[in-house]
Amino acid sequence: MKATTWMLLLAAGLMSTQAIGQMENETELKLRAGGFAEGERDLGLGGDEESSEFFGEIHGSLFTQYAPGFSTKLRVQAFYSTGEVFLNTDETPQPSDEYIALREAWIDIGAMTSFPGEVLRLGRQRIRDDDALWYDDDAVAARWAFDTTLLQASLGVAQQLEGFRTDDAGVDKDQEDRFYIFGDIGTQFRPGHFVELRVANAADDVDLEEEQMRETPERDRDRSLTWVGLAVHSDFHNERALERVAYWAEIMGVTGDEEYVIQPDPMLGDPVTFAQRDVSGVAGSFALRFRPSPQVPAQFGVMYSLGSGGVDSSGESETFEQTGLQSNRSRYTGTRSQIHRFSEAAQFELGNLHVSTVFASFPAEVFDISLIAHQFQRDAESYGVESKGLSVDPEPGGDDDIGRSYDIVVARYFEGFDRVILRESGPSGVLRLRASLFEPGDAYAADADSTYRAILEMSWKL
């Protein structure tokens, strides 16, 4: 079913519920425009070129409250740019120059039990956690959530059916035919301190033999993976928290199995074969942020993240793989700006990677500034790393030094700080610059050049 058909069906379903009961509507129109520039994504090792484009978009939202515990939301986006670009995780990861997209279309049903803060959300929705290492993407889902002072929990199922865009851009190829079951439970074990357990399972439904019969095969793995994670933190990603010391510590593991394609040597003419192996990887994220004085808008912090890589002596995979729904963008510097945890320029994924980060941030009422430096290393030197910002891999069997990144994010906020829009408070307007420089290390070819990525944008809510 095409994206336009899905958009019409979901929108019509939500709009038809307006005949139920007495309604309270809230609308929002968000305008966004800016300029985008990036360097050679192949680090000067191939045919990539520098690029720069201008873009603009409109988000229109309608939130309707029918009765206590019963509401709907519809959000549509129209995007245009002077060339094909991919700006952030609010777009399906296929670059495009223009489209109309259905971003959200859900129904909230509350008061199904006597438990306070309980709601069931059905439809296309944003699934997100604070650190964005697990989830931060749109999906068609059913999610049952509980949110009280002492207990936070959720249970859901989800699938990314398609991009819901008029340019027919689909989801990432590794996400096609993948079904998720996920849940979490957390509690505040003392004021301002939390512990949280998260579990997720993703099962692919891919016929690899049939896939290889295509002229251009799109899938080469069929996986069944389960993730378990335990986090302890002090509300680390809440930019309004005023504690002098904030911390985040999480340990994660993935286990499962995968069937994969073994491509033959084209000179020998052998047929394609298939193999299976177990998957078992570990990852962790540890962060500490210090505010010298509540009266002084300055913070300093360190963060260390790791994801295992390689294979063991029996050929089983030890590479940690994220869920596929992550964006790796969070407010880890203690400001209102969401920033990529592993370089805005390179946008690495947390697999076969060690990341050491230091940062300083300056949050104030009308602006915030974040200065960040990253150091990247491979866990297993003979294997590659995943990146959404680069189109070239490190050399196999080379050095473990992936490189360094230096990021700066500056935001200026405009009027309306106490205004409530669609149940969310925030400024009416934001002018934000994101700039990042990536310097490749010895793991890349000796003649690899540095690259950059910068976005200057203005957004305004009406």
> Structurally, how many domains does the chain consist of?
1
Cα 317 from Cα 343, distance rounded (Å): 26
Domain interval for residue 237: 3-461
User: What pLDDT is stored for residue 280 in this prediction?
Assistant: 95
User: What pLDDT is stored for residue 14 in this prediction?
Assistant: 54
Residue 26 · residue 54 · CB < 8 Å: no
User: What pLDDT is stored for residue 297 in this prediction?
Assistant: 86
User: What pLDDT is stored for residue 423 in this prediction?
Assistant: 42
* Tens place of pLDDT per residue across the chain (462 aa): 454 454 555 555 555 554 445 578 889 999 999 999 999 999 999 888 999 999 999 999 999 998 888 899 999 999 998 987 776 645 444 566 788 989 999 999 987 777 778 899 999 999 999 999 999 999 999 999 988 878 899 999 999 887 788 887 777 888 888 999 999 999 998 888 999 999 999 999 988 888 887 877 878 889 999 999 999 999 899 888 778 899 999 999 999 999 988 877 666 667 788 889 999 999 999 999 999 987 788 999 999 999 999 998 888 999 999 999 999 999 999 999 999 999 999 999 999 999 999 999 999 889 999 999 999 999 999 899 999 999 999 998 879 999 999 999 999 998 754 444 444 545 689 999 999 999 999 999 999 999 999 999 999 988
Q: Is 273 left (phi over 0), alpha (psi -120 to 50) or beta?
A: beta
The predicted-structure confidence for 309-364, as pLDDT tens digits, reads as follows 999 888 899 999 999 999 999 999 999 999 999 999 999 999 999 999 999 999 98
User: What pLDDT is stored for residue 207 in this prediction?
Assistant: 85
Instruction: DSSP for 222-266, please give it.
Output: EEEEEEEEEEEESSTT-TT---SEEEEEEEEEEEEEEEEEEPPPT
Which residues sit opposite 291 in a β-bridge? none
Cα 340 from Cα 332, distance rounded (Å): 9
CA distances to 123, 159, 181, 369 from 139, rounded to whole Å, are 8, 6, 12, 32
Residue 334's CATH number:
2.40.160.100
Closest by CA position to 211, among listed 203, 221, 201: 221
Q: What contacts 192, CB < 8 A, 6 or more positions away?
A: 234, 235, 241, 243
The predicted-structure confidence for 359-370, as pLDDT tens digits, reads as follows 999 998 899 999
Cα 305 from Cα 288, distance rounded (Å): 12
User: What pLDDT is stored for residue 149 in this prediction?
Assistant: 77
Which residues sit opposite 187 in a β-bridge? 151, 195
User: What pLDDT is stored for residue 263 in this prediction?
Assistant: 75
In the three-class reduction of DSSP (H, G, I as helix; E, B as strand; rest coil), residue 212 is classed as helix
